[in-house]
Structure 1
């Protein structure tokens, strides 16, 4: 690891863990944030991401991204930028790896369905469910629930998109267990993890969309950011066929966005005068950002991706069928808890909102294929792709 900047998160200054652990904080050569990262990698919830939707529901092909490969790519981008900025690479990597653990099966379609089912019971939020999974639901240790991650790790996951002014029921419950200062900004590492996520999915979704034939290069070149990067790529490789240059286009865009973020964040840190991580949290605004020009171009790219890829008719039809699966499963398990595995059935409560939230916890942990299998066993097949 490079020398840490004074405003980075230093492991020796961590606020620690909720539960004291036998033998103290260190185990071998690893510090608290390195152990956080390793706990994420070894968790069941992380392994399940290999069968959870990123863009395409039940993708027909081995080369499309899923939540697991997306999280690895976010971690690579985040760690490289953290090194350049003098931030804690291990904490940044851990936040990037864990940021999508709370997503239910079928991505945002599954989340929409659970939100509807819990509308009268506090709703469902995948970010809060990430913390719920890591603090309560996955419990591999003998003396405490959850993975017992550091305060800085949990704070970063809670606030990586900024202060939480109106926490929902799940976040309030977790904050009551281990107060996370929800109204302040998070560390620079957490802010970076959020932007590394944007860089990854902005560009890798282009790669997958082109591969699937739902996007064309001609469409993409109508977006100024893409056109500028494409012109540079063509200038470097004038004699190479366009099909061979599409992945180079993605690499070029990642480089442009990462470099812009580094330059703008370096400027913002210098202008802010922050000297410690507590200064960062109390500053009143974020520090990790794109330049105003690139931020505008990135928003335009997102609008294009929603219009042409995420809301493509094929995608919308698959999402509709996914919502049917999640909704059907919720109603079935709510009415008949005996359909759940014993470890979930035995803990199912009779009162509300406990019963509905318990059922949602079970479904949110499912992979796409497990949800499809369970739905087929109870209701019969529902095709997710024509």
Structure 2
């Protein structure tokens, strides 16, 4: 496929922090293809199968976890990148890696680590993704991390836009491999962010209906959703509610993807960008929804917060798992001998590095491993029914 002029070109990559030379024995892959493959083969990526997306340790096998969510984001991202002439491999790498820094129990776990590290610079899952990929993965004998290309690290750092005040973890990565944090990222990174929005807005509706946190009547308070359902029911009069829900999600994703492609094409043409660096220097987001779709997307988010993320059942579980992370951090900090030997041997002597090292260990845990560790080092644990 021919890349657009404004796409990221692996032949023009700013390179890796550590020069690896050419290794033809490892296959005919370009820089971004290697990045994607390194992410897929990483331990951190595999652990996503045991980390919360919305539901903690869900009872049903059909609910999404961080791993399945990341795969769905990658599918949507590649579709958009192909239509726009962007680099699909870089887009996919960014989509697959975007949630690697999430600790166990999703945002509840992140909130607990943020509190625990309040005096040590705090905790942010986006910055932790960079830390995992540049510091904490140990797969290569010559360097720490995965030694990903500049464009992949930049996209993960700035996928939500320029950063004026980086957290300590991001500043640490930037000091070693400067990522031009004050500019926008590539179009591939911008697309990856919106693919994430499209995926979780719609798939969380699917999971929320499946879990019974809200019903169709509540959902139909969003007029656009009610219209799509009505059209689907008219086209498929013999379909059951589950099939119509799937049809709703498919059509919603299609509408959002098509809108994003059309609006991005218009913005790119208006900005007259002719290179990936022109995109970075444009001074504004070029990948975007139309104003009408952006408002609809905000409506979906408001609905999900009100009816799913802040549902009383979800809040009960969130309170319980925040206590798990808080208890683990307190136990390990008070008695580092409780840490596994390989983590104990690398424990820094001074703060804040000591606290951050302990947080690194906890952040890498899956939900199930965190629960087992709590019971081993803290004590008995009772979790809400249906956990």
TM-score scaled by length of structure 1: 0.98
Deviation of residue 61 (structure 1)?
A: 1.3
Deviation of residue 92 (structure 1)?
A: 0.2
Residues 1:363 and 2:384 are matched in the alignment: no
Residues 1:226 and 2:220 are matched in the alignment: no
CA distance in structure 1 between the aligned counterparts of 2:229 and 2:266, rounded to whole angstroms:
28
Deviation of residue 227 (structure 1)?
A: 1.9
Residue matched to 1:203: 202
Residues 1:334 and 2:333 are matched in the alignment: yes
Deviation of residue 237 (structure 1)?
A: 1.5
Residue matched to 1:315: 314
Residues 1:116 and 2:126 are matched in the alignment: no
Contact 1:135 1:148 in 2 (8 A): yes
Deviation of residue 139 (structure 1)?
A: 1.7
Deviations 1:302-356 (A, max 9, x none): 0010000000000000000000000000010011111111110011122110110
CA distance in structure 2 between the aligned counterparts of 1:112 and 1:118, rounded to whole angstroms:
10
CA distance in structure 1 between the aligned counterparts of 2:300 and 2:169, rounded to whole angstroms:
33
Deviations 1:181-214 (A, max 9, x none): 0000000000000000000000001111111111
Deviation of residue 3 (structure 1)?
A: 1.2
Deviation of residue 301 (structure 1)?
A: 1.0
Contact 1:26 1:32 in 2 (8 A): no
Deviations 1:135-184 (A, max 9, x none): 01102000111000000000000000000111011111110000000000
| 1:31-110 mapped onto 2 (5 Å cutoff) | 31-110=30-109
Deviations 1:269-307 (A, max 9, x none): 111100000000001001111100010011011001000
Deviation of residue 379 (structure 1)?
A: 2.4
SS in 1 for 2:270: helix
Name whichever of 104-113 and 346-355 sits farther off.
Answer: 346-355
CA distance in structure 2 between the aligned counterparts of 1:64 and 1:257, rounded to whole angstroms:
22
Residue matched to 1:139: 138
CA distance in structure 1 between the aligned counterparts of 2:340 and 2:239, rounded to whole angstroms:
55
Residues 1:351 and 2:380 are matched in the alignment: no
Contact 1:57 1:384 in 2 (8 A): no
Deviations 1:228-253 (A, max 9, x none): 32232223223323333111111111
Residue matched to 2:162: 163
Deviation of residue 7 (structure 1)?
A: 0.2
Number of residue-to-residue matches in the alignment: 385
CA distance in structure 1 between the aligned counterparts of 2:247 and 2:208, rounded to whole angstroms:
15
Deviations 1:68-102 (A, max 9, x none): 00000000000011001100000000000000000
Residue matched to 2:272: 273
Contact 1:58 1:384 in 2 (8 A): no
Deviation of residue 22 (structure 1)?
A: 4.2
Residue matched to 1:374: 373
Residue matched to 2:128: 129
TM-score scaled by length of structure 2: 0.98
Deviation of residue 25 (structure 1)?
A: 8.4
Residue matched to 1:238: 237
Contact 1:224 1:297 in 2 (8 A): no
- Provide structure 2 residue ranges, at least 5 long, that are not aligned to the other structure: none
Residues 1:178 and 2:177 are matched in the alignment: yes
Deviations 1:17-68 (A, max 9, x none): 0001143589421100000000000000000000000000111111110000
Residue matched to 1:190: 189
